[in-house]
A and B are shown apart, each in its own frame.
Chain A
Amino acid sequence: MQSEISIKSVWKLFGRSSAELVEQLRSGADPEELHASRGVRAAVQDVSLEVRAGEIFVVMGLSGSGKSTLLRMLNGLISPCEGEVTVKGCSLNSMTAQQLAELRRHQMAMVFQSFALFPHRSVLENAAFGLEVAGMPRKARIDRAMQALERVGLAAEARKRPRELSGGMQQRVGLARALALDPPILLMDEAFSALDPLIRKDMQDLLLDLQAEHRRTVVFISHDLDEAIRIGDRIALMQDGRLLQCDTAQRLLHHPANDEVKRFFRDVDVASVLTVEAIVQPPPHLSVCDVGEPLPDEGGVTMYVTDRLQHFRGLIRPGLGWVDMAAIKTLSTGTSVKAAIDVVATSAEPVPVLDDDKRLLGVISTRQLLLAMEAGD
């Protein structure tokens, strides 16, 4: 997949920064010491990342880890001291203020933790703000903004002022303001962190729905690991301005690069992160039969039956004979291990796992399930 945004060894120091200080840090100087002696804070240190088109890329870290600074370098609100940020193949370093403004108007829109809605504008005018700045005529931008509000379920509130809305609704306006531009890239800065847990989950679902309808590249900043795992296709873990590791949640869990990454995942509920395809095993006995009812096997084992294209058809239980797939509990890909527990526990034999085309990927036994959950702890 092509990368939409690429960050190459980017540094950002706040305070009186200089190339010499970056060099000192690069050769192993202690950032804490530098902060004490020179008053310079190293917010982002030597971070390189590739964000692919159409994925939700979560940058996850505790407060002060430099994730918000990193996000602001993607649209040039903050420019790096060293290194290069490239969006859709164009380097931000060489852009003029005018080009940067054009990039922000057409390529990327941002959603803020504090909502940052304009109190003097109605909800509708807030949603139309980006289009207004981009110079779209009034009629057209009101239509587009109204569509965006409808999409987030706020069409009825269009005439209200932001302060009349609840926090969750305000952030929907913030999201609509970004969506109205129909940008290929969404930058979300702890967008849901200020919301109640239930509302937060609603908003995450809304974001996932939006992605299902129309895939955008989303860079999502979060300090909440559950949120990162829930919505992120890939997660970049940051700590003290450095990138610890960048991968899918499952791989971060199973192949942590170092102890810091492990520490992040210490309290994570493994069963909800792992999906069934991560622990699936090939079926112990497999037979291929395209049509008709396969003959019972004499070996006293459970036989899984597919056609030649690996589409699952059913299984033969020892002593009981042929059972068609319609009568068998199966698991589909993407199901979390947690959701599979019930199915696997109540099934007489290892449960078949099927992909979207009903092809048999393998089976999961109670034993495998227990082993997987133990490995995470």
Chain B
Amino acid sequence: MTLILAAAHQAGWLGQAIDLSVEWLLANAQGLFDLIKVSVLALVSVTEMVLEWPPAWLFALITAALGFWRVNGGFALFVLLGFNLVLAMALWSEMIATLSLVLTASSLALLIGLPLGILSARSRLVWRLVRPCLDLMQTMPAFVYLIPAVMLFSTGAVPSILATLIFAMPPVVRLTHLGIVQVPDDLIEAGRSFGCSDRQLLWKVQMPNAVPTVMTGVNQTIMLSLSMVVIASMIGGGGLGDVVLRGIQQLDVGMGFEGGIAVVILAVILDRLSQSFAGRRGSSLQQRLRAWIALWRSS
């Protein structure tokens, strides 16, 4: 099978160059990769430990309470019923594993993406460099990231998280940049006229005004993380993706759907909760729509 594929298509000169550079990295920067591997592994293990600590009923209650506070009663009910279904399908520990992968990957993506977005908004040069990278990251088929991730970090949670990180980072960078850039000129002028330094302008005028847009980016990053984490089960990421993958491999429609439904439940809960932090309650959908329209216009 592999032989036939190799005969049908040999990597071209560009592919060979990329092969070579990955090999060079493997040969010369193994220490760095080991360090990254260990720290990401530690991070995801701690996250998983924390999430696994409460029993399922307590976890569901806490999430429902959060949902009641941030969204509404109907959503809290959905959380309880949804988690109940996951438990009934015996997919609880898989869901927790997926959740910890998502949380680790998206918090790393935010840790890098937010400062990068701010920097892009403040310097035209940085934006000119960052923008094509973001385009590349967003349009490259998600599966492609899996190959170098496996080569550099072998299989397991760490390459899954890193591939997810790259896939999920663009929205938060883009929307942070957009949010800051689209702050009305008269507010900037007002800030300047009262003697703001560049730093004061950023933290007292631009960032507070950009928060709804930035939070939309955060929401998108979390959602993309979830979709990528499922795909990353192909390289041993584990969790709900595994269930779906097994369903495909064994042509077991029922199993595939069970995994799929659990992913959907998790997605809805993550989406509504992260959205609720995007601004005023109740208007977040409209706000999100507006931010997206603005985003497409700008790019």
Contact = CB atoms under 8 A, between A and B. Distances in A.
Chain A partners chain B: yes
Given A120-B211, A132-B204, A133-B204, A110 B195 contact: no
A130 B208 contact: no
Interface stretch (B21-29, B160-168, B185-193): B185-193
Given A101-B195, A104-B194, A112 B208 contact: no
Interface in B34-77: none
Interface in A265-285: none
A129 B186 contact: no
A119 B187 CA distance: 9
Nearest to A130: B194
Given A116-B187, A118-B187, A133-B200, A77 B193 contact: yes
Contacts of A181: 194
Contacts of B193: 75, 77, 104, 109-110, 187
For chain B, the bracket of interface size reads 10 to 19
A105 interface: yes
A116 B189 contact: yes
Interface residues of A, number: 27
A181 B193 CA distance: 12
Contacts of A117: 190
Contact of A77 (B189, B204, B205, B211): B189
B151 to A, nearest CB: 46
Given A120-B209, A132-B204, A101 B197 contact: yes
Q: Give the residue among A112, A133, A177 with the most B Cβ atoms within 10 A.
A: A133
A196 interface: no
A134 interface: yes
Contacts of A114: 186
Given A119-B209, A120-B211, A133 B189 contact: no
A205 interface: no
A129 B195 contact: no
Contacts of A101: 195-197
A177 B194 CA distance: 9
Which secondary structure dominates where chain A touches chain B? Answer: mixed
A105 B197 CA distance: 11
B293 to A, nearest CB: 20
A6 B192 CA distance: 22
Contacts of A132: 204
A224 interface: no
Interface string B209-252: 10100000000000000000000000000000000000000000
B195 A104 contact: yes
Contacts of A133: 191, 194-196, 200, 204
Interface in B246-294: none
Interface string A108-145: 01101010111111000000011011100000000000
Contacts of A77: 189, 192-193
A118 B205 contact: yes
A86 to B, nearest CB: 19
A102 interface: yes
Contact of B186 (A102, A116, A120): A116
A297 B189 CA distance: 70
A187 B186 CA distance: 15
Contacts of B189: 77, 112, 116
A118 B188 CA distance: 10
B195 A112 contact: no
Contact of B190 (A102, A103, A112): A112
A105 B186 CA distance: 18
Given A77-B189, A110-B190, A120 B195 contact: no
Contacts of B192: 77, 104
A116 B205 CA distance: 11
Contacts of A177: 194
Q: Closest 8 interchain pairs by CB?
A: A105-B195, A104-B195, A116-B190, A110-B193, A116-B186, A120-B208, A130-B194, A101-B195
25 contacts: A77-B189, A77-B192, A97-B197, A101-B195, A101-B196, A103-B195, A104-B192, A104-B193, A104-B194, A104-B195, A106-B195, A109-B194, A116-B184, A116-B186, A116-B187, A116-B189, A118-B190, A118-B205, A120-B209, A120-B211, A129-B204, A130-B194, A130-B195, A177-B194, A181-B194
Given A97-B197, A109-B193, A110-B190, 9 more contacts: A101-B196, A102-B195, A105-B195, A110-B194, A112-B186, A116-B184, A129-B194, A133-B191, A133-B204
